Amino acid sequence: MKLTTAIRSEIAQLIISKIANGSISSPIIEVYDGAEPASMGQSITDTLLAELALTNTAANETDGEITFEPISNDNSANAGGNQKWARILDRDGAEVLYLTAGGPGDGAELTLNTATITENGPVAITSGTITIGGA
């Protein structure tokens, strides 16, 4: 599928507004091992490896590409394992989206500082980009 730049931008801006929605806390990125659920809203049985906070405005958009603003580190990972996917919760804790997560060079939408997370170790997202169709 290919979309015009205007449509890609509109979709990206909608995603960013959904992530920034709410008023309770900052949006959260939860990083998991295992396989991404087939659809959103299902019970998650994978291990939660780390939780990182986004800024309240979450990201910027240029020509249909979402680039996350600086993401706070998790100084003590919840568990150890190989990150495979992540979900983003809005400021009120509602699911917004799932995306791929990996280590350096994996080509994932979220790149972490390490290929394997160590329990109680530091976790950082070094880059995060989502490209809307056709960009």
Q: Are 132 and 64 in contact (CB under 8 A)?
A: yes
Q: What are phi and psi of 50, to 5 degrees?
A: -155, 155
Q: What's the rounded Cα separation, in Å, for the pair 130 and 22?
A: 22
- Write out pLDDT tens, residues 51-108: 999 999 999 999 999 999 989 999 999 999 999 999 999 999 999 999 999 999 988 9
Q: Are 36 and 97 in contact (CB under 8 A)?
A: no
- Write out pLDDT tens, residues 10-27: 999 999 999 999 998 899
Q: Which residue has the tokens 């291990």?
A: 47
Q: What are phi and psi of 71, to 5 degrees?
A: -110, 130
- What pLDDT sits at residue 134? 66
- Which of the four pLDDT bands, split at 50, 70 and 90, describes residue 115? confident
Helices of type H across the chain: 5-19
- What pLDDT sits at residue 89? 97
- What pLDDT sits at residue 135? 60
The pTM assigned to this predicted structure is 0.92
